[in-house]
Amino acid sequence: MSALIQKVPRRLGELLGPEGTVEFVDFLNRSFGQSHSSTIEVVTDRFERRLSEESSKLRLEMSELRSEFRSEFLKVRAEFSDLKADFADHRADIKSEISEIHKAISLQTKWILGVAIGSIGVFSIIVKF
**Per-residue pLDDT at 30:** 82
Q: C-alpha 8: how far from its chain's center?
A: 63
Distance CA 82, CA 76 (A): 10
Alpha carbon separation from 97 to 62, 83, 94, 111, 112 (Å, rounded) = 52, 21, 5, 21, 22
Helices (H), 1-129: 10-128
Distance CA 63, CA 4 (A): 49
> pLDDT tens across 19-29, in order?
888 888 888 88
**Per-residue pLDDT at 23:** 83
pTM beyond 0.75: the answer is no
Length of the chain: 129
The average pLDDT across 119-128 equals 88
**Is residue 87 predicted with pLDDT exceeding 60?**
yes
